[in-house]
Structures are given as C-alpha cells and as structure tokens.
C-alpha cells in the first residue's frame, strides 16, 4: 500500500498497514529462517523497530517495501544468531537425566543431541521438503513462499524483497525445478501411479 | 528430445504451474499434460511440494497479527495507539465498515484461495500417499531443526491467544492427526473428568521434532498443555523451578507425552491411550 501526502505516518496508520500485510512479512521471515515459530518473533521485532523509526518512513513511498526491508534485516540477524546458537542448544548435564527408555535403539545419537540435530524421519515427505529447501537461497525461498502460499504477483514480491521482478520470477521457477528434481527420488510411486496406463 | 526442447518444455511447464499462461495456452498445455505421463508426474510432484509447503509453513491468521502488533506496541511504548487501531479493526470486522479496504479484501481472497488450494492439494496428496505409504520410505536425510523450549512454546501459544491450528470434530479425527504425525493413534479416555475442556491442537512448536503436537486444554480454568511426539524424538525436557509450571512425562506405546501444567499432578496424560485401530480407520479420520 502507499501512503500519499506529506504527513508523518502515525502509529495507528502503521498498525493498520502492518495488520493488512502481516502474512507477507511472516512469509519473508519464514522464507529466510525456515522456522515458523521464529518467524513470529522476527515479525514482532521488526514491528518494534519500525514503530520506533516511523520518522524514517517517507510518505508517498511503499510501506511494504520499507517494512519488507526491516523484516529482512531482522530475519537475517536472527538466522545468523540461530546458526551460532544451534551448536550449543542443550545443556550436556541434562543428558545424564534422560529416562532409561531413551537409551533404546531408537534414540538419536548422543553427538546429535549435543549439537541439537535430530535425524529427520525418512518416511516423512515434509522432512524431505524442508531439507531440500535448505539447498536454495534465502531470497529464493522467500520468493517461492510468497508466490506459492500468498499468491503474490512478481511485482509485489519485487517490492517486498527489493529485487527486480524478473529475478523474483527466476527464483521461483528455479526453486520449483530444483525441489522437483531433488524430491523426485522420494516420490517414486507417483510417476507410475499417474502415468501407469501410458 | 533435444536440449532446447527440454528447456522449452520446462519453461512451458513452469509457466503452466505458475498460472502464467493465457486461457488458450493453458488449455493447450493441459491437453499436452493429459497425454504425457512424464509431465503428469511432474505436475503431481509439484502439487505434493506445494501441499507440503502449506503444511510446513501454515500462514497465521488475523488474530495472530493483532496479538503481535499489540505486543510490539507495548515493546515500543506505543500500546495506546496500537490499542486504538485494534479497536478499529475489531469494529471493522464486526460491522463491515468502509475501513475494510480493498487491499485487505484482496489479501483475504488470496488467503482463502491458498487455504482451499492447500486443503484440496493436501487432502488429495495425503489420500494418495496413504494408499501407497512405501513411496515415502526411501532415502535418508538429516534435516536440522531448532528445538523450542517448552516454556518458550507456551509463551508463543499465549501470544497467539491460544488460537488452535486444528480443532478436531470427533475422536476419529483426533486419533488420525496423531497417527499421521507419529504412526500411532492416540485418544483421550471419555468422558473427560469434570473441569477438563480440550481446546485444540497447536502444530507449530518444534519442541521435540518437526512433528511435535501440543494439545491445549483448560483444566479448572487454567491452561494445561500436552506435548506429544514419537518416543524416538524424545529428549530430557525440563522446566526451571520457579516458573510456576511443572512437567510430567508418560509414554503411550511408541509415543511420549509431557504435560505442562500449573497443577501439582498430571490431569491429562493419564487419560491418553492407543486406540489400536487399523490404518483404514485412521485414514477415514483425515478430514482437514
């Protein structure tokens, strides 16, 4: 949305505009971090920062472009922090208190627990998708989610992410192709099921 | 097929799945897909991926936006102004006043469309995948996930005003949800004790794994949460003393359940049991 006129953006106007496009900011955050719960924190932090810097918003310019930039800034910082923290997510002393049943063969390796990494269930397609998403860039992921889950036009994605519309389109197409290629081995039954009569 | 033909086909397919083709081109490509098993398979893969994206990243509702903006307003020292906005939004929602702008309307239509697409695609995909479970049994990955502390998970749920991701219509749906995520069904013994009211599921807090489910319930007017996951994903969950919360652990077959409660003893996990039904019963319960 655009706020025309020279008047400063009020907090009420900010809240209204934020409310209107909240889902898009959330998708940017989750696109960058791949963490739905963390995305909430990011969008909230971005709103706090933006509210404190309302003077910096130039009336007549795109609110979404301004807010999208703030969300991206916070999300990249959060992603960096998460990458750093993930290595030491657990207190090793807690491991000694694990109940006896945890010592079963199904329990994840101790080293994985220490590093906060759990092997994904290979039977779960969503896990495979999440893993494959890790192979595409943060921006490409955000483009893909904004296009797939919010149905945005490329011009709108371009504005939110500060990239040319053609680049956004290219990101979406390449990401889709990459995911299909990566996930094809995990869906061996599909081709046969659909094209079985050919 | 030459390399150029392959590239053009890919571009055509991408434009097709992207909805970027004109009506006539779309119809032509649709016919082409119908006669080409390889393209059909590609289409099926794309739908499965889109449905998975919707499940992995469920876009939050308007209530959560309001909760976040309120919290942000408080943090920024602008609670009063944000509160005025919230009142206007509520008034707008209640009366359909002119404040409901075209942009909001459009976003809502997009959200409904995304939901419908997600439900249709997800349901179709799930039904198909359950007919052929072995297709998911190949390969192995070690995806990273960020464990969420139980108390952080609860804080997030509170911030969302306990808005459930799913409210089950009946026991079969309840059991099917747990079965889908953990390969084992789960039910609560009925009738529920007096003072216990099950509110719904939160499915986005990765406390033990991507597949952690949190059952939200009211017990004697207080919020109680049951964190459920496969026992294979278990780790020592703890809550610090002085948090006002206590954590109780139990196992039901291959599942582990932690009850996070302000009470001195568990009130819910003792009610959980494995209904031990066959797969077809669970599949019939998948209605979301």
pLDDT digits (tens, 9 = 90+) for B2-29: 445 555 556 678 888 888 888 888 888 8
Confidence of residue B210 (pLDDT cuts 50, 70, 90): confident
CB B249 within 8 A of CB B256: yes
Helix axis angle, B102-131 to B37-56, nearest 10°: 120
Tell me how far CA of residue A110 lies from CA of A93, A104, A105, B64, B211, in angstroms.
12, 12, 12, 37, 20
Nearest CA in chain B to A124: B136
Find the mean pLDDT for residues B192-200: 90
A50-64, B54-68, B70-84 — which is least confidently predicted?
Answer: B70-84
CB B185 within 8 A of CB B274: yes
Tell me how far CA of residue A165 lies from CA of A23, A183, B207, in angstroms.
20, 27, 38
Residues 5-44 of B with CB under 8 A from A: 10-11, 14, 17-18, 37-38, 40-44
Q: Tell me: ipTM over 0.85.
A: no
Residues 6+ apart with CB under 8 A from A147: A154, A157, A168, A172, B18
Confidence of residue B80 (pLDDT cuts 50, 70, 90): low
**CB-CB under 8 Å, B85 with A12:** yes
**CB-CB under 8 Å, B48 with A128:** no
Find the mean pLDDT for residues B181-190: 89
Cα separation, B163 vs B152, in Å, equals 16
**CB-CB under 8 Å, A185 with B146:** no
User: Model-level pTM?
Assistant: 0.53
Arithmetic mean of pLDDT over chain B: 77
pLDDT at A107 over 50: no
A177 interface with B at CB cutoff 8 Å: yes
**CB-CB under 8 Å, A124 with B211:** yes
Tell me how far CA of residue B274 lies from CA of B198, B199, B249, B271, in angstroms.
18, 20, 16, 10
How confident is the model at residue B10, as a pLDDT? 67
Confidence of residue A74 (pLDDT cuts 50, 70, 90): very high
pLDDT at A178 over 90: yes
Helix (H) or strand (E) holding A146: helix A138-148
Confidence of residue B206 (pLDDT cuts 50, 70, 90): confident
Find out whether the peptide bond into B68 is cis, omega within 30 degrees of 0.
no
| A106 phi, psi to nearest 5 deg | -75, -15
How confident is the model at residue B61, as a pLDDT? 78
Residues 115-134 of B with CB under 8 A from A: 118, 128-129, 132-134
B137 interface with A at CB cutoff 8 Å: yes
CB A129 within 8 A of CB A183: yes
In terms of pLDDT, which residue wins out, A168 or B281? A168
B127-163: per-residue pLDDT in tens? Answer: 444 443 332 322 333 344 568 889 989 988 988 889 8
Find the mean pLDDT for residues A105-133: 58
DSSP 8-state code for residue A106: T
CB atoms inside a 10 Å sphere around CB B135: 19
**CB-CB under 8 Å, A11 with B85:** yes
In terms of pLDDT, which residue wins out, A97 or B257? B257
Residues 6+ apart with CB under 8 A from B165: B58, B200, B201, B202, B203, B204
Q: Which pair of structure tokens corresponds to residue B180?
A: 């889908």
How confident is the model at residue B107, as a pLDDT? 52
Cα separation, B283 vs B261, in Å, equals 32
pLDDT at B102 over 80: no
Find the mean pLDDT for residues A147-166: 93
Helix extents (H) in B76-165: 79-95, 102-131, 150-159
Find the mean pLDDT for residues B40-69: 84
How confident is the model at residue A28, as a pLDDT? 96
């Amino acid at each position: 949305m655009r706020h025309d006129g020279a008047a400063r953006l009020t907090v009420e106007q900010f809240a209204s505009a934020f409310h209107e496009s909240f889902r898009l900011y959330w998708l940017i955050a989750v696109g960058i971090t791949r963490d739905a719960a963390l995305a909430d924190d990011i969008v909230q932090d971005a709103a706090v920062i933006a509210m404190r810097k309302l003077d910096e918003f130039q009336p007549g310019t795109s609110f979404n472009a301004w807010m999208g930039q703030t969300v991206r800034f916070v999300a990249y910082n959060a992603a960096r922090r998460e990458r750093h923290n993930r290595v030491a997510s657990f207190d090793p002393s807690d491991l000694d208190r694990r109940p006896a049943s945890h010592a079963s063969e199904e329990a994840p390796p101790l080293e994985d627990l220490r590093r906060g990494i759990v092997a994904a269930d290979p039977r779960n397609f969503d896990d495979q998708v999440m893993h494959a998403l890790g192979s595409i860039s943060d921006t490409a992921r955000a483009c893909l989610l904004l296009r797939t889950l919010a149905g945005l036009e490329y011009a709108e994605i371009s504005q939110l992410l500060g990239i040319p519309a053609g680049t956004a389109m290219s990101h979406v197409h390449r990401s889709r192709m990459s995911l299909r290629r990566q996930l094809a081995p995990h869906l061996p039954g599909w081709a046969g099921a659909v094209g079985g009569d050919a | 097929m030459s390399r150029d033909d392959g590239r053009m086909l890919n571009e055509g397919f991408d434009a097709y799945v992207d909805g970027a083709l004109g009506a006539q081109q779309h119809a032509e490509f649709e016919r082409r897909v119908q006669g080409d098993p390889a393209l059909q398979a590609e289409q099926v893969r794309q739908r499965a991926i889109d449905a998975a994206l919707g499940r992995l990243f469920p876009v939050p509702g308007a209530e959560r936006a309001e909760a976040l903006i309120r919290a942000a307003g408080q943090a920024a020292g602008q609670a009063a102004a944000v509160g005025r906005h919230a009142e206007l939004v509520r008034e707008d929602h209640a009366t359909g006043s002119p404040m409901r702008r075209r942009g909001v309307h459009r976003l809502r239509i997009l959200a409904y469309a995304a939901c419908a697409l997600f439900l249709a695609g997800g349901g179709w995909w799930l039904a198909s995948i359950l007919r052929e479970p072995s297709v998911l049994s190949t390969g192995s990955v070690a995806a990273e996930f960020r464990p969420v502390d139980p108390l952080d998970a609860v804080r997030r749920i509170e911030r969302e005003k306990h808005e459930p991701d799913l409210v089950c219509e009946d026991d079969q749906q309840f059991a099917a949800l747990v079965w889908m995520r953990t390969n084992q069904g789960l039910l609560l013994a009925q009738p529920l004790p007096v003072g216990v009211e099950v509110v719904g599921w939160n499915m986005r807090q990765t406390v033990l794994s991507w597949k952690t489910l949190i059952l939200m319930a009211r017990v004697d007017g207080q919020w109680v949460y049951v964190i459920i996951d496969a026992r294979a994903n278990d780790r020592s969950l703890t809550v610090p003393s002085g948090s006002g919360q206590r954590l109780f652990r139990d196992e039901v077959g291959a599942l582990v359940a932690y009850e996070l409660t302000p009470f001195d003893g568990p009130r819910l996990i003792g009610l959980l049991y494995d209904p031990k039904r066959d797969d077809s019963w669970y599949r019939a319960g998948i209605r979301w």
